[in-house]
Structure 1
Amino acid sequence: MNPYVAPVVMLIASNVFMTFAWYGHLKFKMTPLWIAVMVSWGIAFFEYWLAVPANRIGSSVYSAAQLKTMQEVITLAVFAGFSILYLKEPLGWNHLIGFTLIAAGAAFIFQTR
């Protein structure tokens, strides 16, 4: 797989796992916290199996700062979809503006010298 594309695809997949690990339990607030933690930890295991190789592969063509920035932008995009589709929480204009400003800041990281 292309080292420019593979990290992006793998980070998207890892973020789906990460988002479920961190926020999926919010729909099950009656479940004991220790169970939520253990289930989340189990889900996060698979996230690591994607994120670590994504960063290793990506480091051949991206800087660490670029990989981290990519991770954060992907995290916001995945979380926005998760919030709307899974948690049924709407995103407002303030979220859109905030996410846009973060994306604009991220664009500077990818500028060549």
Structure 2
Amino acid sequence: MREVHSNVVRPWALALIVATLAAGCASGPGPAGRPPAPAPADCSAVATEIARVEEARRAAAEKHEGAWKAVIPFAVAARYASGKAAAGEADRQLSELHAESHRQGCASERG
């Protein structure tokens, strides 16, 4: 009979561990770690902040839509959920910024 050594790491197990760690490092911190941005003081600041949040939302949407590209299934689910949450947070911020822009009487930046 063949002896089984439980303290030997199989190459496939090591590859799985490395892939898991790499997938975890590939995603950035979520929006929960960021403090809410203070309300911009003038129309120019509101427009700048709207552009920044719209870019963040575009990046989140790409992450959300590109989740299928991840190799490991649970990484796909994590990236999908993370992208969806980030897009939702960006939508919430945009709503607040557009409301602030409207309250200040700023010209609409929407296209």
Structure 2 length normalisation: TM-score? 0.46
Larger RCO, structures 1/2 (Cα 8 Å, 6+ apart): 1
Structure with the higher fraction of residues in helix conformation = 1
| TM-score, scaled relative to structure 1 | 0.45
**The structure with more radius of gyration:** 2
